[in-house]
């Protein structure tokens, strides 16, 4: 499978003297969902910021769709959609106007736009709110708008950071079902979440970060083996706690 996201030898952070990330290397291929997990302060958000181009690597590089941000800025940025932990919307735009703006930004053709818009509004139970201003939406509804914007674009790569916060059960189910659909169509997905049971159920591979380093990477069996649980099995949560605490689960 083709690698859509490649992070190679990444060292970075907010200060050259005290890097947060230490030699981070991984890839996300077309048609797979990879879970990025770790404790608070492990370096997950900093890694995502480097992928988004909000931070510049001190050492190493990040490629999306085969290019770095410096090589082809427009191609790089148009190849991914990002769902942040905290929704960021324009208060004076409606739900529908946010979707239209995203469609224009990603050059979605009118015929495809109309189909996707109606499908997403229905799937995420937001059709009654299509004319509502963002300022009047609950946090969960704002998060749904962010998710719909990402799914509307249909890019090669989705970067999703703690997407379940504020979502109702139907919203969570709709998101997971849609992620499975786009993955089957060939999209690559990097999802960061603390809900390890959901990550285990839906992701193909996992990246465990701790203190700015990758301490385990691979399938669930790979993570179990890195945690020393290969003989007795165990859940992703069991292996995770063993890796980050060094103790018994």
Q: Using a pLDDT cut of 90, give the percent of the chain over it.
A: 88
Phi, psi of 177 (to 5 degrees): -65, -40
What average pLDDT does the chain have? Answer: 94
Q: What is the mean pLDDT of residues 133-148?
A: 95
Query: What does the alpha-carbon distance between residue 205 and residue 139 come to, in Å, rounded to a whole number?
Result: 30
Instruction: Assess whether pLDDT exceeds 50 at residue 200.
Output: yes
**pLDDT of 148 higher than 90:** yes
- The C-alpha atoms of residue 36 and residue 105 are separated, in whole angstroms, by 27
Q: pLDDT-derived band of residue 249, with 50, 70 and 90 as boundaries?
A: very low
Looking at the predicted structure, is the pLDDT value of residue 23 above 60? yes
Residue 168 class from Cβ within 10 Å (0-12 exposed, 13-18 middle, 19+ buried)? Answer: middle
Other Cβ atoms less than 10 A from the Cβ of 8: the count is 15
| Cα 45 from Cα 89, distance rounded (Å) | 20
Each residue's pLDDT tens digit, 70-82: 999 999 999 999 9
pLDDT in tens, 40-71: 999 999 999 999 999 999 999 999 999 999 99
Report, as an integer, the average pLDDT of 120-130.
96
pLDDT tens string 154-181: 999 999 999 888 899 999 999 999 999 9
Tell me, what's the pLDDT at 247? 58
- Quick one: pLDDT at residue 111? 87
Residue of 23, 8, 14 lying closest to 45 (CA atoms):
14
pLDDT at 229: 87
Range 189-217 average pLDDT: 96
Give the CA-trace dihedral at 244, 195, 51, 139, to 10 degrees: -140
Token output for 104: 């224009």
In CATH terms, the fold of domain 1-79+157-249 is Rossmann fold (3.40.50)
- Please give the average per-residue pLDDT across 228-242, as a whole number: 86
Domain ranges of the chain: 1-79+157-249, 87-154
Tokens (6 digits) for 225: 């083996």
113 vs 249, more confident: 113
């Amino acid at each position: 499978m083709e690698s859509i996201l490649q992070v190679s030898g990444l060292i970075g952070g907010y200060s050259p003297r005290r890097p947060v990330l230490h030699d981070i290397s991984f890839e996300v291929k077309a048609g797979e969902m990879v879970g990025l997990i770790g404790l608070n302060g492990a370096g997950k958000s900093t890694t995502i910021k480097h992928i988004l181009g909000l931070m510049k690597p001190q050492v190493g590089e990040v490629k999306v769709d085969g290019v770095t941000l410096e090589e082809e800025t427009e191609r790089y940025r148009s190849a991914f959609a990002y769902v942040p932990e905290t929704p960021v919307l324009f208060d004076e735009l409606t739900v529908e106007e946010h979707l239209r703006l995203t469609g224009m930004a990603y050059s979605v053709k009118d015929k495809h736009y109309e189909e996707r818009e109606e499908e997403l509004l229905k799937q995420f139970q937001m059709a009654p709110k299509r004319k509502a201003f963002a300022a009047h939406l609950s946090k969960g509804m704002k998060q749904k708008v962010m998710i719909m914007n990402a799914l509307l674009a249909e890019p090669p790569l989705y970067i999703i950071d703690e997407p379940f916060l504020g979502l109702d059960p139907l919203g969570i189910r709709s998101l997971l079902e849609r992620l499975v659909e786009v993955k089957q169509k060939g999209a690559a997905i990097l999802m960061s979440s603390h809900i390890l049971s959901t990550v285990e159920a839906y992701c193909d591979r996992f990246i465990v970060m701790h203190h700015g380093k990758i301490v385990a990477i691979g399938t669930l069996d790979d993570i179990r083996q890195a945690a020393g649980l290969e003989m007795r099995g165990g859940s992703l949560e069991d292996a995770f706690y063993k890796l980050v605490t060094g103790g018994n689960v």
